Amino acid sequence: MSNVRERWSSELGLVAGAIGSAVGLGNIWLFPMLVGQNGGAAFLIPYFIFTFSFVWTGLVIEFNTGRIAQQGPAGAYEELGMPFGKYIGLIPGFRPLVVLIFYASIAGWTLRYIGAPANEQFWAEPGAFFGTVNSGLQSAVFAVLALAIIGSIVYFGIEKGIEPATKLMIGLLFILLVLLGIRSVLLPGSLEGLRFYLVPDFSKLTTRVVLNAMAQAFFTASLAGAPMIVYGSYLSEKADTVSAAITTTFGNATIALLSGFAIFPAALAVGVEPNASGPGLLFISLPAIAQQLPGSTLIVTGFFLAAALAAISTGLSILEVPVDSLKYHFGLPRKVVTPILVLIVAVVAIPTAMSSELFDTLTTIVLYTGPLAALLAPLGLFWAYDGRQALEQINEGPGTELGDWFFYWGKYIYPAGILAAYAWDVLG
């Protein structure tokens, strides 16, 4: 089996890939939904505190778990000396397959919605229209289409597939969100939405809001012990992972913030309360908002194109993890592994897309296992491996050096934060 790993052409490639993994629908849909349900600007305060204290820490740890081991999660924990690491690595190494099974449905919905404005029912009965999209044969067809797009990009590898695709998609996503945000802010009556989004009501800053913000900060950054480790393993040993983690954190937070500017001023300008739950805000409330605005078709098409770009870019990192795992365990080439995995996922994704019960079951499994999988990286790097040596290797890059405080932060505080987010998300 060859030990030669693929490489990003530059650290910018890693940043684009990592932002693409992180943004997903967690930023385009879930972030605005949680802001709407948790007091608007009051939610932003703890969200950004946790983002710039915990999320960038997690990115540094996961990037370097992969970079130091020069393996994805399937081999990294064994390489770092974790007891039973070879078998423990199977959990984050293949868990993304379960994620991709149901995520294909969501990505498929966004693809279908790009052309939705041409359908009269989309405008007249957005709830009923969504009901035809999120179940049955139509849902299955678009789930398979999403998998085909994701698989065709991953098939060509890092430098020729994932890296140029994520650079293009993240660039387009940023431009679309800026344009949509400007359009939303310039609407008559948008001031109320801007006030809700930017002026905090500290009476709404409850423990529940704080813990929701913590859970969202972890979720939206793809910190689950897998994608960021694989992406980090494609870095050279002298890469500046600290700067890459900081840039990724800023990029992820910026796109989340822009999605709020695209939604809240427009929503309150037309009298729609931005507190819908589930997929309602994105797939049902948005048509109700947009149809009252000039240029509604263009607005909706642009927004769902942005959502589709976010969904596909995240799908790339999800599929890359089991691709790397099969390459590691069986020594098979990428161009053999990728179509096999896409076919396997599609076989299970089709009935999942057609059944809301199966869809909900898989999402529950992912909810319960995600934070626990995220614990593996700090345990591997700071506990199984020599934590002091890990800090020295993190600082080998040409950029910012981290002080001795990071050893304690990464070894004790960061895992405690993961457990707190887990307790709230799963047990709360």
Half-sphere exposure of 306 (CA within 13 A, CB side): 28
Residue ranges per structural domain of the chain: 11-427
- pLDDT of 112 higher than 70: yes
Per-residue pLDDT, 361:
80
**Rounded distance between C-alpha atoms, residue 293 and residue 302, angstroms:** 14
Q: For the segment 59-95, what is each residue's pLDDT rounded down to a tens digit?
A: 999 999 999 999 999 899 999 999 999 899 988 888 8
Helix/strand/coil (H, E, C) string of the chain? CCCCCCCCCCHHHHHHHHHHHHHHHHHHHHHHHHHHHCCCHHHHHHHHHHHHHHHHHHHHHHHHHHHHHCCCHHHHHHHCCCCCHHHHCHHHHHHHHHHHHHHHHHHHHHHHHHCHHHCHHHHHCHHHHHHHHCCHHHHHHHHHHHHHHHHHHHCCHHHHHHHHHHHHHHHHHHHHHHHHHHHHHCCCCCHHHHHHHHCCCHHHCCHHHHHHHHHHHHHHCCCCCCHHHHHHHCCCCCCCHHHHHHHHHHHHHHHHHHHHHHHHHHHHHCCCCCCCCCCHHHHHHHHHHHCCCCCHHHHHHHHHHHHHHHHHHHHHHHHHHHHHHHHHHHCCCHHHHHHHHHHHHHHHHHHHHHCHHHHHHHHHHHHHHHHHHHHHHHHHHHHHCCHHHHHHHHCCCCCCCCCCHHHHHHHHHHHHHHHHHHHHHHHC
Is the confidence at residue 339, as pLDDT, over 50? Answer: yes
Give pLDDT, residue 224: 78
CA separation for the pair 103, 371 (Å, rounded):
18
Mean pLDDT of the chain: 89
Would you say domain 11-427 falls under CATH 1.20.1740? yes
Residue with tokens 């296992």: 369
pLDDT, one tens digit per residue, over 199-238 is 999 999 988 888 888 878 877 787 877 999 999 999 988 8
> Predicted confidence band at 152 (pLDDT cuts at 50, 70, 90)?
very high
pLDDT at 274: 67
What does the alpha-carbon distance between residue 292 and residue 300 come to, in Å, rounded to a whole number? 12
- On the question of pLDDT at 275 being above 70, the answer is no
Calculate mean pLDDT across residues 288-315: 88
- In this prediction, residues 386-402 reach a mean pLDDT of 90
* Residue percentage of the chain with pLDDT more than 70: 96
pTM of the predicted protein model: 0.92
Read off the pLDDT band of 1 (50, 70, 90).
very low
Q: In 10 A of CB 423, how many CB atoms?
A: 13
